[in-house]
Structure 1
Amino acid sequence: MERIGQYELLALVGEGGMGEVWRARDLRHGRDVALKLLPAALSDNAEYQKRFRLESDLVARLREPHLIPIHDHGEIDGRLFLDMRLVEGRSLQDVLRDEGPLSPARTVALVAQIAEALDAAHADGLVHRDVKPSNVLVTPSDFVYVVDFGLAFSVGTPRPQLTQTGVALGTLEYMAPERFSRRPVDARTDVYSLACVLFECLTKQKPFPGDFPTQMYGHLNVDPPRCSEARPGVPAAFDAVVAQGMAKDPDERFPTAGALAAAARAALRGAATRTRAPAAPDAPTVARPAEGAAPRPDRPAVTAVTTALAPGHRPLPSRAREAAVALAPATDRPRSRPHLPGRGRDPHPSGPTPGAPLPDLRDDPPRRHHGRWWAVAAVAVLLGIGALLLTLLPAAPPPRPAPVTSSPTPTVAGTVPVGVAPVAMQVAPDGRFAYVADRDAGVVTVFDVAGGVARGTIPVPGHPQAVAFAPDGRRAYVALATDTAGEVAVVDTATGAVVARIPTDSPPRALAVAPDGSRVYASAPDPSAVVVIDPAQNAVVDRIPVAPSPHGLAVSPDGRRLAVADHDADLVTVLDLATGTAPVTVPVGGGPHAVAWDPVRPLLFVTAFTGNGVSVVDVAAARVAATVPTAVHPQDVATSADGRHAYVAAIDANVVQVLDTTTSTITATVPTGRAPSSVAVTPDGGRAYVTDLLDGTLTVLDTAAAR
């Protein structure tokens, strides 16, 4: 086999004007990677070499899930190279070629993920400059990765001339008008290209087809094409989205890629509303048990009952509540994302003023309401607030329930719609309610565990990434990625109000709370550290440096140790919180992402995202006791309450696997919705909830052993 430096070239994956991409074996680290080799002509350009190294450093720092991580970059054997994570999937260009134009719902789901990656790059001052379908990788679960930052441009620096003629590099079909001149290039340049991609996904046509002069003239002078004319059946609402995204003047475009994605979601929602049958009046809905399942006396009945919410909680749309026939049979699980309204930034991030009328977010046409109606509604809301507080809030730290015996083969009880992009979930200590981080909608969804239905949402000032509760359940902590950096929002669970915002510089990836509630820990990737928060002060009181790119966190049951999954260092770090002694580091499988403690033994379970396995770490011996192969890209892990099993969410395989913690073997593989991103277990261990990132649902697992 051909070899370059430490890499053995296995197969050519693709090639273009910016070089070749190979599937290669990294002999030094013993892993398969995607190796991009840039053309020798660019390697000889001193200016390009300098910019390439600078921008590769910047891209390597990005920690957005939809950007493929860069392991290494530099020069080997006279060639510039990028060593990246190898991801199995097809380019969006291949998807369009093989499947034709995509449905509006699927298009919006893909474009929203591309937008997240672009906004993360833009926040760090990088413009991609070559957004196109061939630079979008789509996994079998429709999870998106944006690739090829070979033309990335740092805002505020001079643009290099990389061709002899001075013509800008890029792909003409998606090139913004300012790229043909010396006008400034910024994030809105990528917004233009993303609008072109949106148009092509809906129609399988380029916005301005033809030869070079024809395309250039179109981008500079011709009005954006209409999706509804290019492909009959596409809702006309998308025409306005494409038109604004492809505006000739950058000032008239959407300011961010996320704003374009939000407009596309609104267009999809509007089209669905117009074609939907009139809704029946709201009424209590009784869940249907899974087929063949007998009622269990030890589990609460699953009933979707509409109830009033405390101030700060937003009710879900009425039709979403009707759609939440909680825990529907697995055979009837919806496979597409429910049409829920997108939320803009709340002008009052801390929540509505207590006593103010709850916002009406229903899909129904606006109606005129009389003063008497509002008086009755106000009384109902006040009564509902009292009922909710008595029902959901513990009076004191709740005693830990006795764990049920966990089953080696849990069953799917059903699915529940919970929003747009549920990325993480945590069940409150009393087990009666849970919070779901909805990354795209910028809200936390309040989930009624006993009722088995989403009750409402809490607006938060950013994109939520993770959730954790104080031991008494009175406060929740939400990790947020914001437009500028990151923070932890503190939510009063009695009112739904954001009562504090604690800056963490870079967006925290995970949260953990000490068993006594005295400290909150957040993983911050830049600089790589664990941020320590004192809840009494609502302030950062310490930063503990750790190895590169900390992701998952977990505090030991006794509160003495904190485990950190160091994603890029292939390590798990165990910090002794009681003594402050030097941390213990243990090498584990590639790309450690999430970590969970055994509730009884000094064992850790660490998912190896790129290594496709789980490392079982003996903390006392500081070694890996076992390595268990799993399905592709295990992203999260949680243990059962009795410690007999661990549940592993494999995001690109659409399954949760069950690990026997005694034998270190997989006992079951359970299908879920698309892109299972996290697992949360009730305090007694009787149920587990899996967030289906791309379906907007929870897959509910009955994890208790049959009696």
Structure 2
Amino acid sequence: MTPRMFGPYELLDLLGRGGMGDVYRARDTRRGRLVALKLLPDLYTDDAEYLSRFRREQLVAARLREPHVIPIHDFGEIDGRLFIDMRLVDGEHVGRLLERTGPLPPARAVHLVGQVAEALAAAHADGLVHRDVKPTNVLVTPSDFVYVVDFGIARKIGTTSTALTVSGATVGTLDYMAPERFTNLPVDARADVYSLACLLHECLTDTRPFRGDDLPALMHAHLYGTPARVSSLVPGIPPALDAVVARGLAKDREDRYPGPLELAAAAREALRTTEPLPQAPPVLPAGRVVPTDPRPAERTEERTEERTGERTTAVASAGLPTPGPDDHRDGGGPGGAGASGGRPARRRALAVAGAVAAVLAVVLAVTWALTTRGDDPQDGAAAGTSTSATSPSAPASPTPTAPVVSPSVPIPAAGAAIDVGPTPGYAQVAPNGRYAYIASRDERVVTVLDTTLDRVTGKIPIDAAPPRFITFSPDGRTAYVTVYTDDKTVNAVVFLDTATNRVSTTVPVGKRPFAPATTLDGRFLYVPIHDEGRVEVIDTTTGEIVDRLTTPPNPHWVVFSRDGGTFYTADHESGVVTAFDTASHALLATIEVGVSPHSLALSPDGGQLSVVNYDSNTLSMIDTATHTVVRTVDLGNNPQDVTYAPDGVHLYTADVEAGLVEVVETATGRVTARIPTGDSPSSVSVTPDGRRAYVTNLGDGTVRVLDTAAL
């Protein structure tokens, strides 16, 4: 199309058209950025009640900070037409994905739906029901990161279905509407649970759970019909998922899951109970071994081996070798690791007084709406398109589907010490907890530890240089390993394909790359370059360095804020933590901490940032809202790593010279345990469910297991 102007926006391409408006790829000429611009139909501008509701609800939707909610830059009215300015996303909606691929593998379907559940849960916590969950409102990036769009018809929890009509047009899509939407019952979060179950059914089978030849037939199916079992429609779907979908589609909302996270957790559990154990890894030439499938997967069996060690708060005071006074252990590359239930069924009749009249009213309204404006399957594909960014924008989202988190305990039990080979400097548990990848420096391998079996199942050769630090893409499909030689002649980031355990890309970088982090959508990797005082930004899709930004001397660590809009660096020689805006790379704050800040960790709720200070033997806790240090905690000698328990109640530090892991209560700063783990503990990484921690002991070639949650 020929570009035309809409206020300050240059409309470049039409991305989608539907009953709720047209979506364009547009350029915001004020800020010089590409956006997805949704223009609502003119009929809404004439409705004073809708205008008031639009502004009120968009304010709430715009403030949602959950990574899987599409960011809203701006909204309002220009020349009498309502608009919503959203982030432009590189991806496609689930409807197009299913057209292209057919039914999704169960693990992928559950992974995508789990991310939708996180977005919905955030909206529900803010008092909003989405009310239009459907495939075209779910965008999927090439790395399978999900954005939920079109919160434009979101309403306050408790409003009735009669509020769904605007100028006679029913808002939402009938194929995914909960039965109570056709009655006078108030609508709450369980209506979104029903729609989410419809989405899961469609992802698994490429068919909608209910079909009808006309609108009354379709609504009758929602009110009274029973869909086919998903396992009967597509071979290979675990029968355990039948019960998950069925409960999500319960006619009586009291019989559904109470919220979307509970549905997602039940779906993951259904997969977990049917997943086979991994096969033994093959032995390759030269005695090197790679796991058959090291990609992170859900836990497949309960551990049966006996745990050793006792709970203790005693500090080991003798018998541990001491490195030289100038050996901070950071120059050699160790550091900290970054880290279904429901109420009993109650059956009662769904029909209420006036339900039949409400159904007929909806039929008339929808019939009028479809005959006057149509219903395009692209409705809601607002932000789904390809972009060619030359610099990173503020990302959204971390992690794959959220696990059920166990409460952390103040005194973890020390378990087995696993022999993993010499100089394990750094460990990182994969995003869904199945494997830990360990940077084994002297062997020049990444050692793979199966957390189900607590044994080494493979070693991945890293020929370029000794591995130092490891982080994963949000979906776990790629591991990024920083490597450098002691003479600093080779410095690079190695991309490992975790499906094959092969090096797919090697990107040369500046001298001594330390602990990197990906943006929350996985598009960019931020690498601190220790010796050159900068962070280099790598486009993970091309392997190209797209930006370099200066930091105070000797950045060690990069951590992103929970919403991805800010990133922090720990600047070792400068004694500060710096905060930068992710989109513009502008410096936001310089925070003075202790001497030689080493490792950073962000609390699960994003409100607290902690840094261990190597040479002052302290922990600094920073309020991320004010960028001020709110608490300083004294620790043992030379703390090198810090990470949070997933529940946020405790954090763990690895004190390399003291031979300890210390447990700190995050609300008070009180040290609740000091646990001897081995010779020179250099990193600690916790499984996403919070049940276990893995501590690398640099000096004795072991990984110590800590049971960090109550059994």
TM-score when normalising by structure 1 = 0.50
1:103 aligned partner: 105
Cα offset, 1:393, TM superposition: 10
Work out the CA distance in 2 between the residues paired with 1:393 and 1:66.
46
Corresponding residue SS for 1:131:
coil
Cα offset, 1:165, TM superposition: 7.3
Q: Judging changes above 3 Å, is the alpha-carbon distance between structure 1 residues 183 and 245 closer, same or farther for their aligned structure 2 residues?
A: same
Are residues 1:340 and 2:268 paired? no
Work out the CA distance in 2 between the residues paired with 1:419 and 1:153.
27
Are residues 1:122 and 2:105 paired? no
1:453 aligned partner: 449
Are residues 1:249 and 2:240 paired? no
1:8 aligned partner: 10
- Superposed, 1:528-677 pairs within 5 Å as 551-558=566-573, 560-567=575-582, 571-577=586-592
Corresponding residue SS for 1:254:
coil
Q: Judging changes above 3 Å, is the alpha-carbon distance between structure 1 residues 216 and 6 closer, same or farther for their aligned structure 2 residues?
A: same
2:302 aligned partner: 361
Contact 2:578 2:591 in 1 (8 A): no
Work out the CA distance in 1 between the residues paired with 2:270 and 2:318.
38
1:382 pairs with 304, 309, 331, which one? Answer: 309
Work out the CA distance in 2 between the residues paired with 1:228 and 1:391.
60
Are residues 1:240 and 2:199 paired? no
Cα offset, 1:231, TM superposition: 2.8
Overall identity of the aligned pairs, in %: 47
1:526 aligned partner: none
Work out the CA distance in 1 between the residues paired with 2:121 and 2:253.
16
Aligned-partner residue type, residue 329 of structure 2: P
Contact 1:42 1:48 in 2 (8 A): yes
- Superposed, 1:287-306 pairs within 5 Å as none
Are residues 1:403 and 2:340 paired? no
Contact 1:69 1:84 in 2 (8 A): yes
Are residues 1:148 and 2:150 paired? yes
1:23 aligned partner: 25
Contact 1:22 1:35 in 2 (8 A): yes
Work out the CA distance in 2 between the residues paired with 1:393 and 1:573.
42
Corresponding residue SS for 1:183:
coil
* TM-superposition CA deviations, 1:388-432 (whole Å, max 9, x none): 9999999999951263599xxxxxxxxxxx99779xxxxxxx964
Corresponding residue SS for 1:140:
coil
1:87 aligned partner: 89
Q: Judging changes above 3 Å, is the alpha-carbon distance between structure 1 residues 576 and 50 closer, same or farther for their aligned structure 2 residues?
A: same
Are residues 1:259 and 2:262 paired? yes
Aligned-partner residue type, residue 400 of structure 1: H
Aligned-partner residue type, residue 219 of structure 2: M
Cα offset, 1:70, TM superposition: 0.9
Q: Judging changes above 3 Å, is the alpha-carbon distance between structure 1 residues 10 and 178 closer, same or farther for their aligned structure 2 residues?
A: same
State the number of aligned residues.
420
- Superposed, 1:11-90 pairs within 5 Å as 11-90=13-92
Contact 1:153 1:159 in 2 (8 A): no
Cα offset, 1:559, TM superposition: 5.4
Corresponding residue SS for 2:38:
strand
Contact 1:340 1:419 in 2 (8 A): no
Q: Judging changes above 3 Å, is the alpha-carbon distance between structure 1 residues 192 and 402 closer, same or farther for their aligned structure 2 residues?
A: closer
Aligned-partner residue type, residue 587 of structure 2: V
Cα offset, 1:140, TM superposition: 1.6
Contact 1:549 1:566 in 2 (8 A): no
Q: Judging changes above 3 Å, is the alpha-carbon distance between structure 1 residues 454 and 9 closer, same or farther for their aligned structure 2 residues?
A: same
Cα offset, 1:61, TM superposition: 1.3
1:215 aligned partner: 218
Cα offset, 1:270, TM superposition: 2.5
Work out the CA distance in 2 between the residues paired with 1:390 and 1:269.
43
Q: Judging changes above 3 Å, is the alpha-carbon distance between structure 1 residues 391 and 550 closer, same or farther for their aligned structure 2 residues?
A: farther
Q: Judging changes above 3 Å, is the alpha-carbon distance between structure 1 residues 222 and 394 closer, same or farther for their aligned structure 2 residues?
A: farther
Work out the CA distance in 2 between the residues paired with 1:159 and 1:391.
70
Q: Judging changes above 3 Å, is the alpha-carbon distance between structure 1 residues 205 and 120 closer, same or farther for their aligned structure 2 residues?
A: same
Corresponding residue SS for 1:234:
coil
1:268 aligned partner: 271
Cα offset, 1:37, TM superposition: 0.7
Work out the CA distance in 2 between the residues paired with 1:568 and 1:57.
22
1:171 pairs with 164, 170, 173, which one? Answer: 173
Q: Which runs of 5+ in 1 are unaligned?
A: 296-324, 342-359, 365-376, 407-417, 423-429, 459-464, 466-545, 580-593, 600-683, 693-697, 699-707
Contact 1:48 1:162 in 2 (8 A): no
Cα offset, 1:237, TM superposition: 1.5
Are residues 1:230 and 2:246 paired? no
Corresponding residue SS for 1:220:
helix
Contact 1:338 1:419 in 2 (8 A): no
Q: Judging changes above 3 Å, is the alpha-carbon distance between structure 1 residues 122 and 568 closer, same or farther for their aligned structure 2 residues?
A: farther
Corresponding residue SS for 1:56:
helix
Aligned-partner residue type, residue 248 of structure 2: G
- Superposed, 1:478-493 pairs within 5 Å as none
- Superposed, 1:473-512 pairs within 5 Å as none
Using CA pairs under 8 Å that are at least 6 residues apart, name the structure with larger relative contact order, 1 or 2. Answer: 2
Corresponding residue SS for 1:195:
helix
Contact 1:419 1:445 in 2 (8 A): no
Contact 1:195 1:245 in 2 (8 A): yes
Corresponding residue SS for 2:14:
strand
Contact 1:128 1:149 in 2 (8 A): yes
Work out the CA distance in 2 between the residues paired with 1:575 and 1:188.
44
Aligned-partner residue type, residue 268 of structure 1: L
Q: Which runs of 5+ in 2 are unaligned?
A: 335-398, 404-422, 441-446, 455-473, 475-560, 595-608, 615-679, 689-693, 695-711
Aligned-partner residue type, residue 109 of structure 1: H
Contact 2:161 2:183 in 1 (8 A): no
Work out the CA distance in 2 between the residues paired with 1:150 and 1:13.
17
Cα offset, 1:100, TM superposition: 1.1
Cα offset, 1:235, TM superposition: 2.3
Q: Judging changes above 3 Å, is the alpha-carbon distance between structure 1 residues 224 and 30 closer, same or farther for their aligned structure 2 residues?
A: same
Aligned-partner residue type, residue 382 of structure 1: G
Cα offset, 1:259, TM superposition: 1.2
* TM-superposition CA deviations, 1:598-649 (whole Å, max 9, x none): x9xxxxxxxxxxxxxxxxxxxxxxxxxxxxxxxxxxxxxxxxxxxxxxxxxx
Q: Judging changes above 3 Å, is the alpha-carbon distance between structure 1 residues 171 and 90 closer, same or farther for their aligned structure 2 residues?
A: same
Contact 2:115 2:400 in 1 (8 A): no
Cα offset, 1:339, TM superposition: 3.6
Contact 1:101 1:203 in 2 (8 A): yes
Aligned-partner residue type, residue 265 of structure 1: R
Cα offset, 1:568, TM superposition: 6.9
Corresponding residue SS for 1:11:
strand
Aligned-partner residue type, residue 51 of structure 2: Q
2:672 aligned partner: none
